[in-house]
Chain A
Amino acid sequence: MNEVRPSEPTVDLLTDGNVRLTVNNREHVLNVDPWMTLLDVLRERLGLIGTKKGCDHGQCGACTVLIDGRRVNSCLILAIARDGGSVTTIEGLGSPDNMHPMQRAFVDCDALQCGYCTPGQICSAVGLLAEGNATTRDEIRELMSGNLCRCGAYTNITDAIESQLLPPPER
């Protein structure tokens, strides 16, 4: 049995006490306390502060990232439990010079106001497209209900995602 006992010598440790995470295609080996969430590891250990801490309880969706391609709330995931996983954050989707089509769509549709929820919205929207369960505007709205926007930019957020349901436009 593999264990991490934080207060004891590293004899019977889970592997070597380290967590291997591939984040935005870069491999990391991190020694993390078992109670550290993936969100805190991303922000505080890897400096990837694009992923936001909103409610910290899985209710607002600001911390949404993709693990092995699936959207999840990183605030409710213990990093140690995802040893070996591959995480994509907003920084991994694109950059200002080379935006992901969903990032481009959010800009084009003015799908934000303050922008705090936007990284989570975009990661969630990318996950939604990959899941392939939304074909209509109503389905987008229902399947984006895990992402709150207190500025109320929902109409334009839905526009942005809807634009990406179609084949990608010429760029």
Chain B
Amino acid sequence: MNRFDYVRASSIDDAIRALQRPGAKVLAGGTNLVDLMKYDVAKPSCVVDINRLPLGRIEALDDGGLRLGALVPNADAAYHDLVLQRAPLVASAILAGASPQLRNAATTGGNLLQRTRCFYFYDPDMPCNKRDPGSGCPAIGGVNRMHAILGASGACVAVHPSDMCVALAALDARINVIGPTGGRVIPMREFHRLPGTQPEIDTTLAADEVIMSVEFPPWNFGSHYTYIKVRDRLSYAFALVSVAATVRLEGDRIAEARLAMGGVAHKPWRDLEAERSLIGKRATPEAFESAAEMVLASAVGLTHNSFKIDLARRVIVRALEQASAGTPQSQTDKRIG
């Protein structure tokens, strides 16, 4: 681990001021940053500890929505009554990820800012455009079973590893951030970015901005939601493909559908056109198949991950079936019903 200055921020202003230093990084739970520092992938000049800031609340919003503070531990969010009532999809997705120890330490804001688990990114002896811009991408043509099938570029095929963020994308969460010139709201769909020619930039958050909280609109889906995560072992593994789905039914017709995918792209993947195609349709496997085909029309496989395209199609269909039936996937019993 490199040597760094340590700043314990006692106010938001403190934190923003400390972040003016080049190479400064925010520390919350540390489960990703400290790990990256141990691998010499992250080498901050200054670590800005924000753990004493009052960003740990879970609050009901007057409109029926929900606010999760940036420092709420993932475990606290997953088991909180308000989250279970107002954003049960988020609770389910969190419990699909990591381990209890990690969920106890990892936070809402840190989950949003965690970096890819691409093994080339994690290995400083290898080139990587994300870690060392311009050095190349050995995952393209290398070992790429875990990598992207959607939205990748010639510079980077890494995927965003989060489960929670897939649920945030499906629910149109809003990210409240603050920087030197004040606060702003970043819609979840604009928070993470595709790699393009600048894969070193994961998000649209500026280096001197701090995440304050995440807000969710009112929950309109009852029990018509699910989060299905398919991975190489049943627990404590990153997704090959995951799907968050919600539907709102009017009679036997779909009035609204949300679909977001994890493990397939540089950001949680949403396809609004495919969602719109479901509106007015009956909740049938044929309708779900055709939506899945739309989502995956632009999918491209690499040497080892073409299987993900068919896998994703099947998981989308199954997730929409579960959501329509109002039978969310259990995150303990991993059999997919």
**What is A's interface to B at a CB cutoff of 8 Å?**
1-7, 14, 34-35, 37, 56-58, 61, 64, 70-73, 76-78, 80-81, 83, 124, 127-128, 131, 133, 136, 138-139, 141-147
The answer on a CB contact under 8 Å between A145 and B38 is: no
The answer on a CB contact under 8 Å between B101 and A73 is: yes
CA distance A57 to B31 in the complex (A): 9
Q: Is B1 an interface residue (CB 8 A)?
A: yes
Beyond A71-B100, A72-B101, list 6 extra A-B contacts (CB 8 Å). Answer: A2-B10, A6-B5, A34-B4, A58-B31, A76-B31, A142-B331
The answer on a CB contact under 8 Å between A143 and B4 is: no
Bitwise interface map of B from 277 to 304 toward A, beta carbon under 8 Å scored 1, else 0? 0000000000000000000000000000
CA distance A6 to B51 in the complex (A): 21
User: Which bracket fits the contact residues of B?
Assistant: 35 or more
Chain B residue contacts of A131, Cβ below 8 A: 75, 79, 100
Chain A residue contacts of B47, Cβ below 8 A: 34, 78
16 contacts between A and B (CB under 8 A): A1-B7, A1-B9, A1-B14, A2-B7, A3-B7, A6-B3, A58-B31, A61-B101, A76-B31, A76-B34, A77-B105, A80-B49, A81-B8, A127-B104, A131-B75, A138-B332
The answer on a CB contact under 8 Å between B34 and A1 is: no
Chain B residue contacts of A4, Cβ below 8 A: 5-6
CA distance A127 to B103 in the complex (A): 13
The answer on a CB contact under 8 Å between B100 and A146 is: yes
Q: Is B306 an interface residue (CB 8 A)?
A: no
Bitwise interface map of B from 25 to 53 toward A, beta carbon under 8 Å scored 1, else 0? 00100110011011100000001010100
**B328 CB to nearest chain A CB (Å):** 16
Q: Is B99 an interface residue (CB 8 A)?
A: yes
Chain B residue contacts of A143, Cβ below 8 A: 100
A2, A56, A138, most chain B CB atoms within 10 A: A2
CA distance A37 to B98 in the complex (A): 20
Q: Is B219 an interface residue (CB 8 A)?
A: no
Chain B residue contacts of A145, Cβ below 8 A: 99-100, 235-236
The answer on a CB contact under 8 Å between B105 and A76 is: yes
CA distance A146 to B9 in the complex (A): 31
The answer on a CB contact under 8 Å between A80 and B6 is: yes
**B180 CB to nearest chain A CB (Å):** 15
Chain B residue nearest to A84 (CB atoms) is: B52
The answer on a CB contact under 8 Å between B100 and A128 is: yes
The answer on a CB contact under 8 Å between A56 and B38 is: yes
CA distance A155 to B336 in the complex (A): 24
The answer on a CB contact under 8 Å between A3 and B333 is: no
Q: A1-B17, A2-B10 are in contact. Are A35 and B3 (CB under 8 A)?
A: yes
Bitwise interface map of B from 230 to 243 toward A, beta carbon under 8 Å scored 1, else 0? 00000110000000
Chain A residue nearest to B51 (CB atoms) is: A81
The answer on a CB contact under 8 Å between B4 and A142 is: no
Contact of A35 among B4, B31, B100 (CB under 8 A): B4
CA distance A56 to B38 in the complex (A): 9
B residues 77-101 with Cβ under 8 Å of A? 79, 98-101
**B75 CB to nearest chain A CB (Å):** 8
The answer on a CB contact under 8 Å between A77 and B30 is: yes
CA distance A80 to B105 in the complex (A): 15
**A12 CB to nearest chain B CB (Å):** 10
Chain A residue contacts of B27, Cβ below 8 A: 78, 81
Ordered nearest first, which 10 A-B pairs have the shortest CB separation? A146-B99, A34-B6, A145-B235, A145-B236, A4-B6, A146-B101, A35-B1, A142-B332, A70-B104, A76-B34
Q: A4-B5, A58-B35 are in contact. Are A81 and B49 (CB under 8 A)?
A: yes
